[in-house]
Amino acid sequence: MHQLRRLDDGLDRGEGLTLSIIDRRPGLRVGLLLTPPMLWLGAAYLGALGALLITSLWTQNDFTGNIERVWTLENFKTLFTVEVYRTITVRTIGLAALVTAVDALLAFPIALYMAKIASPRAQRLLVIAVLMPLWASYLVKAYAWRGMFSADGPIEWVLQPFGLNTPGYGMVATTVTLAYLWLPYMILPVYAALERVPDSLFEASADLGAGSVHTLRRVVLPMAFPGFVAGSIFTFSLTMGDYIAVKIVGGTTQLLGNVVYDNQGAANNLPFAAAVATVPIVVMLGYLAAARRTGALESL
Amino acid sequence: MARSSIISPGLRRSLTGITVLVLVFVYVPLTLVVVNSFNIDNTFGFPPPGYTLHWWQVAWESQGARSALWTSVKVAIAATVVALLLGTLAAMALRRTRFFGRNVVSLLIILPIALPGVVTGLAFQNGFRTILGIQLSLWTIVIAHATFCIVTIFNNVQARFQRLGGNFEQASMDLGAGRWTTFRLVTFPMLRSALLAGALLSFGLSFDEIVVTTFTASSQDQTLPIWIFQNLFRPNQAPIVNVVAAVLVIVSAIPIYLAQKLSGSQAEGLTASP
């Protein structure tokens, strides 16, 4: 092996000597390969997250605007005791749950159609049709719904003959827009899960006397469950951190993301923003732990 | 069709109906943006009272939109280059090797995209400004973007490794090629289309990003999404913003087409989902 390698040209001859050490020690090879990405993610990114937690325990001098490195729980006390922040926290988590539920309801039929009814060709086209909006700018999609919900937009135009009006900018528009934005993230994993349900299971269930709806509820839904869990991680997390869409279609509605954004920047209160940002972190870690407990993540 | 028999005709019809409705729900707003870019009414009354190409011409000449576009392209390319390097290294390291920290590494790679954008954005801003005392610039945007782009490359390369296994490289080494030659002549060509698909996704992710960007950009740096957001609420800029939005909707078909060509079919390589 080593003799053969020495026959090789230029670069490799030098390599043959140094890399043979690496060949004998796979741990060294992994270590060398992993060092750059781990420095970036482990040191820089995790470091930044850690620093964020530390900063949330500092305070800001109201007069100079400078951050004072004094340990205090004041930020968290404000967060938990001031009524408006409690309302916003509950609203954000509730909205994340609502958006996730809406997306799950919309995703199931289309994913089932894609996986079990569409011909292979239609299946391919549908995957593209679902993916395409993912590439259209996030901002453009939120903006599109601003147009839809506007006072003289298409929704008003459709509803007016029935004596109804557009709901305008607020919680309804925010829910619709966020559900719209994250829908592909739910459809794709559910579709992937349904694809793996063998057709023979449908037949077996029918042979045993179950109707279509019964089969869906008792056989297909449980098997699609891991897909829903995977999709919900995205819909939930993305909603927890959003503040742009809500600014575009939410009117005066405030979410946790808005509180974080409004408190960052030179003139504002970065330590408090950091404290607020820990809420989505804790909620998401809890959500991930719960998702893990269902065992859904392993079977993906 | 044989497969249709597994679902009753009634249910089949309702599923078809709902699928059509969902697709309408998905495409009507995007169509509206394109239609409104030709709307003669600059407050976008619906249905449009008339059509014009005027806004397209104004948008074409908009300095702000042009320089923001260029900024976005620069940031996306730089972030993608970094992500390509780090994502490939990480995927190569985790290949065939089982060690205690394996799951930790995968989790760490997914984390920047699994955590909400405000968290990642604020963490970086706080890290740069408060902890390190660095001024925000284009480079701070690139660093933040590269962090959440790594996962796209990593996923694509890892999937490719899993699909192709290591036989070709083994053969190459047995025939006397060294590690570098094997990488250059066997591994890299094997990964090329996966890298391209990953890079495409990474570019798209960075190009479109606004949340992390607003936290890590200085007030002078305007990427295209920031430019759009800042001009969204200015009535006299609205028609121009709408044209830019329409262009982005139309252009989004290109990466889909390319990715479809690259990966043959299926969703592999197209989604950021881990």
Closest CA to B106 of B158, B67, B71, B65: B158
Q: Check whether residue A28 and residue A137 sit in a common domain.
A: no
Distance CA(B54)–CA(B31), nearest Å, equals: 19
Residues 71-90, chain A, touching B (beta carbon < 8 A): none
Considering the domain boundaries, does residue A265 fall inside one?
yes
Chain A residues near residue B18 by CB distance under 8 angstroms: 109-110, 113
Considering the domain boundaries, does residue A67 fall inside one?
no
pTM of the entire predicted model: 0.84
Q: Distance of CA A114 to CAs A117, A233, B222, Å?
A: 6, 22, 40
Q: Check whether residue A89 and residue A175 sit in a common domain.
A: yes
Closest CA to A95 of A235, A234, A230: A235
Residue A10 has pLDDT above 70, yes or no: no
As given in the structure block, the two tokens for residue B103 are 């799951």
Chain B residues near residue A238 by CB distance under 8 angstroms: 116-117
Residue A6 has pLDDT above 80, yes or no: no
Instruction: Give the model's confidence band at B263: pLDDT under 50 very low, under 70 low, under 90 confident, else very high.
Output: low
Domains in chain A, number: 2
Contacts 24+ apart (CB under 8 A), B263-270: B263/B193, B263/B197, B265/A124, B266/A127, B267/A127, B267/A131, B267/A188, B267/A192, B268/B156, B268/B159, B268/B197, B269/B156, B269/B159, B269/B194, B269/B197, B269/B198, B269/B201, B270/A131, B270/A134, B270/B197, B270/B201
Q: Check whether residue A169 and residue A140 sit in a common domain.
A: yes
pLDDT top residue among A256 and A296: A256
Considering the domain boundaries, does residue A196 fall inside one?
yes
pLDDT digits (tens, 9 = 90+) for A198-240: 888 888 888 887 777 888 888 888 888 989 998 998 899 889 9
**Alpha carbon of B166: minimum distance to chain A alpha carbons (Å):** 15
Residue whose tokens read 């992500």: B83
Looking at residue A58, what is its pLDDT?
86
Query: Does the beta carbon of A105 lie under 8 angstroms from any beta carbon of chain B?
Result: no
Q: Evaluate whether B83 touches B149 at the Cβ level (below 8 Å).
A: yes
Looking at residue B133, what is its pLDDT?
85
As given in the structure block, the two tokens for residue A297 are 């993540």
A34·B89 Cβ contact <8 A: yes
Q: Check whether residue A48 and residue A172 sit in a common domain.
A: no
B7·A116 Cβ contact <8 A: yes
A to B CB pairs, distance under 8 Å:
297
Query: Does the beta carbon of A209 lie under 8 angstroms from any beta carbon of chain B?
Result: no
Q: Evaluate whether A255 touches A243 at the Cβ level (below 8 Å).
A: yes
Helices and strands of chain B, counted as H and E runs: 13, 0
Q: Check whether residue A20 and residue A78 sit in a common domain.
A: no
CA angle (B156 as vertex; B152, B158 as ends), nearest 5: 115
With H, G, I as helix, E, B as strand and everything else as coil, classify residue A208. Answer: coil
Considering the domain boundaries, does residue A176 fall inside one?
yes
Q: Check whether residue A12 and residue A118 sit in a common domain.
A: no
Chain B residues near residue A8 by CB distance under 8 angstroms: 176-178, 181
Residue A259 C-alpha from the chain's centroid: 19
Residues 109-168, chain A, touching B (beta carbon < 8 A): 109-110, 112-114, 116-117, 119, 124, 126-141, 143-148, 150, 152-154, 156-157
What range defines the domain where residue A88 resides?
A: 74-293
pLDDT digits (tens, 9 = 90+) for B53-112: 888 888 888 888 899 999 999 999 999 999 999 999 999 888 876 666 777 888 888 888
Distance CA(A57)–CA(B230), nearest Å, equals: 32
Most A CBs within 10 Å, among B12, B69, B118, B150, to test the A interface: B118
A68 membership: H or E segment, kind and range: strand A67-68
Q: Evaluate whether B118 touches A257 at the Cβ level (below 8 Å).
A: yes
| Region B171-198 average pLDDT | 88
Q: Check whether residue A28 and residue A133 sit in a common domain.
A: no
* Domain spanning B63-263, CATH architecture: Orthogonal Bundle (1.10)
B122·A274 Cβ contact <8 A: yes
pLDDT digits (tens, 9 = 90+) for B13-47: 899 999 999 999 989 988 888 888 888 877 777 77
**Domain residue limits, chain B:** 63-263
Q: Check whether residue A16 and residue A164 sit in a common domain.
A: no
**Alpha carbon of B6: minimum distance to chain A alpha carbons (Å):** 6
What share of chain A in percent tops pLDDT 90?
31
Considering the domain boundaries, does residue A116 fall inside one?
yes
A41·B97 Cβ contact <8 A: no
| Ramachandran angles phi, psi of B51, nearest 5° | -120, 150
Residue A187 has pLDDT above 60, yes or no: yes
Q: Check whether residue A122 and residue A151 sit in a common domain.
A: yes
As given in the structure block, the two tokens for residue A280 are 């989505």
Chain B residues near residue A261 by CB distance under 8 angstroms: 118, 214-215
pLDDT digits (tens, 9 = 90+) for B109-140: 888 888 888 999 999 998 998 888 888 899 99
Q: Check whether residue A85 and residue A22 sit in a common domain.
A: no
With H, G, I as helix, E, B as strand and everything else as coil, classify residue B256. Answer: helix
Identify the bridge partners of residue A60 per DSSP, sorted by sequence position. Answer: A67
